[in-house]
């Protein structure tokens, strides 16, 4: 059978994430260190795991309501108000999803008509473009710049807006750059969007991981609440990636439609995870602080270390990534990552994996032990020293 003819053209045109082969190499290597995987190295705090186990003991193994346990949605509403001053009605404005990723997918599919454009600042997490395409829309990739610390500026945004623009994805705090948007940055973006029908899909999955500042949601800027869909979840804040727990909040009319997609595609998020999430919301604030403090120490160490060995990087104030500039090495990001892995057995991710604008940069994730970070820095220093020697020799010949 000729499957290529049978299968959806649209799906076949979507490029798979190209990093997989790196990890296959890595798995075979001894003494390899990975600064590649973008998830917390912490295990979910015990009291949260225990709540999941207890729900199983109690035999809570059935579906929940489509939007998620009312108890959980109430807790999410109270959490969002407590931590980010966001007010959402648990009954009509919150849907519990299978991770933040499902939330992004739902939001895009809920908004996009064929041919609609979705503005996506890049470098950013890999899913927005493909999900837009699969929803029938056209991704418009907008390159943010190192000199702006990879923030989205109103000038850049204005240039990208056309009559077909349906939505703006706002992925801050940002993976892979660690960039954040502060209130004044968001106000400038709001100024561009006021009076338009452009919706914002604000992916705030790293909202708890900001350093030396507090996260502001664009939904908190005047006139933006009604044009914003907020995506958040438990993966990064409570080290719960494997539980697949996220949520979407937004205007009632949108959530009503969005719930249909979730209802027919998913039914309801896993029940055991929802019970664990209730505990995370009720008694997890201290875990968040503890993990953030730990990440913050590693962040400072990694940034200082990279600068010391000669790789400039701006100070990332969010998420758990540093995005150093490797242009001084004369290597492309892909070559840098491949050679670094082969010569020194350390995996970092090429900036190009996160869209155009990532060339010349690499992503280093510090959600790993201090020991590994220290060793990775030593090896990177070696790598750079050897590289410079080779380059000097080549230039001498």
Partner 1 sequence: MTKLLQLLEEDCTLTHEQLAAMANMTVEEVDAAIKKYEEDKVILGYQAIVDWNTTDREDVTALIEVKVIPQREEGFDRIAERIYQYDEVEALYLMSGAFDFTVIISGRTLREVASFVSDRLAPLEGVTSTATHFILKKYKEKHLIFEKQAPGEREFIFV
Footprint on this chain of partner 1 (rule: CB under 8 A): 17, 19-20, 23-24, 26-27, 34, 36-39, 41, 125-126, 175, 241, 296-298, 300-301, 304-305, 349, 353, 370, 374
Short-list 276, 291, 283, CA closest to 236: 291
* Least CB distance to partner 1 at residue 39 (A): 6
Contact 280, 238 (CB under 8 A): yes
* Least CB distance to partner 1 at residue 125 (A): 8
Which lies closer to partner 1 via its Cβ, residue 26 or residue 141?
Answer: 26
Angle at 247 between CA 244 and CA 252, to 5 degrees: 155
Contact 200, 218 (CB under 8 A): yes
Contact 98, 244 (CB under 8 A): yes
* Least CB distance to partner 1 at residue 271 (A): 24
3-state SS, residue 34? strand
Which lies closer to partner 1 via its Cβ, residue 20 or residue 58?
Answer: 20
**Could you tell me if residue 178 is left (phi over 0), alpha (psi between -120 and 50 degrees) or otherwise beta?**
left
Structure tokens, 145: 């710049």
Which lies closer to partner 1 via its Cβ, residue 23 or residue 63?
Answer: 23
C-alpha–C-alpha distance, residues 301 and 333, integer Å: 23
Which lies closer to partner 1 via its Cβ, residue 185 or residue 208?
Answer: 208
C-alpha–C-alpha distance, residues 343 and 130, integer Å: 33
* Least CB distance to partner 1 at residue 100 (A): 10
DSSP state at residue 43: P
* Least CB distance to partner 1 at residue 319 (A): 11
Which lies closer to partner 1 via its Cβ, residue 20 or residue 393?
Answer: 20
Q: Which residues contact 125 (CB under 8 A, 6 or more apart)?
A: 171, 175, 176, 203, 354
* Least CB distance to partner 1 at residue 82 (A): 25
* Least CB distance to partner 1 at residue 301 (A): 4
**Omega before 173 within 30 of 0, i.e. cis:** yes
* Least CB distance to partner 1 at residue 19 (A): 5
Which lies closer to partner 1 via its Cβ, residue 278 or residue 303?
Answer: 303
Q: How far is CA 28 from the centre of its chain?
A: 27
Which lies closer to partner 1 via its Cβ, residue 226 or residue 304?
Answer: 304
Which lies closer to partner 1 via its Cβ, residue 77 or residue 322?
Answer: 322
C-alpha–C-alpha distance, residues 281 and 55, integer Å: 16
C-alpha–C-alpha distance, residues 112 and 120, integer Å: 14
C-alpha–C-alpha distance, residues 175 and 171, integer Å: 8
Contact 139, 169 (CB under 8 A): no
Short-list 54, 93, 53, 99, CA closest to 73: 93
Contact 340, 364 (CB under 8 A): no
Which lies closer to partner 1 via its Cβ, residue 62 or residue 286?
Answer: 286
* Least CB distance to partner 1 at residue 396 (A): 34
Which lies closer to partner 1 via its Cβ, residue 250 or residue 305?
Answer: 305
* Least CB distance to partner 1 at residue 299 (A): 9
């Amino acid at each position: 059978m000729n499957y290529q003819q049978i299968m959806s053209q649209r799906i076949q045109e979507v490029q798979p994430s190209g990093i997989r082969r790196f990890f296959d190499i890595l798995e075979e290597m001894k003494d390899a260190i990975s600064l590649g995987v973008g998830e917390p190295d912490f295990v979910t705090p015990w009291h949260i795991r225990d709540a999941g186990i207890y729900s199983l003991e109690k035999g809570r193994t059935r579906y929940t309501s489509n939007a998620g346990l009312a108890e959980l949605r109430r807790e999410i509403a109270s959490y969002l108000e407590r931590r980010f001053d966001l007010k959402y009605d648990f009954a009509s404005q919150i849907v519990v999803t299978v991770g933040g990723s499902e939330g992004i997918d739902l939001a895009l599919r809920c908004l996009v008509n064929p041919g609609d454009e979705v503005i996506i600042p890049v470098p950013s997490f890999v899913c927005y473009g493909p999900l837009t395409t699969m929803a029938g829309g056209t991704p418009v990739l907008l390159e943010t710049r190192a000199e702006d610390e990879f923030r989205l500026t109103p000038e850049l945004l204005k240039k990208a807006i056309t009559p077909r623009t349906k939505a703006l994805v706002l992925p801050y705090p940002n993976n892979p750059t660690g960039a954040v948007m502060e209130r004044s940055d968001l106000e400038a973006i709001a100024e561009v969007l006021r009076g338009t029908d452009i919706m914002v899909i604000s992916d705030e999955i790293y909202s708890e991981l900001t350093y030396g500042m507090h996260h502001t949601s664009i939904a908190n800027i005047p006139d933006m609440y009604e044009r914003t869909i907020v995506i958040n979840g438990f993966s990064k804040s409570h080290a719960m990636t494997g539980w697949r727990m996220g949520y979407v909040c937004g205007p009632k009319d949108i959530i009503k439609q969005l719930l249909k997609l979730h209802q027919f595609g998913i039914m309801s998020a896993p029940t055991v995870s929802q019970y664990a999430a209730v505990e995370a919301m009720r008694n997890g604030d201290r875990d968040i602080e503890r993990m953030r403090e730990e990440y913050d120490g590693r962040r400072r160490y990694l940034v200082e270390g990279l600068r010391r060995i000669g790789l400039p990087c701006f100070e990332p104030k969010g998420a758990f990534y540093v995005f150093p500039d490797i242009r001084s090495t004369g290597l492309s990001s892909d070559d840098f990552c491949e050679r670094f892995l082969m010569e020194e057995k350390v995996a970092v991710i090429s900036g190009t994996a996160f869209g155009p604008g990532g060339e010349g940069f690499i992503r280093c994730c510090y959600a790993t032990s201090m020991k590994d970070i220290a060793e990775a820095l030593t090896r990177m220093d070696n790598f750079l020293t050897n590289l410079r020697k080779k380059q000097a020799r080549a230039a001498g010949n």
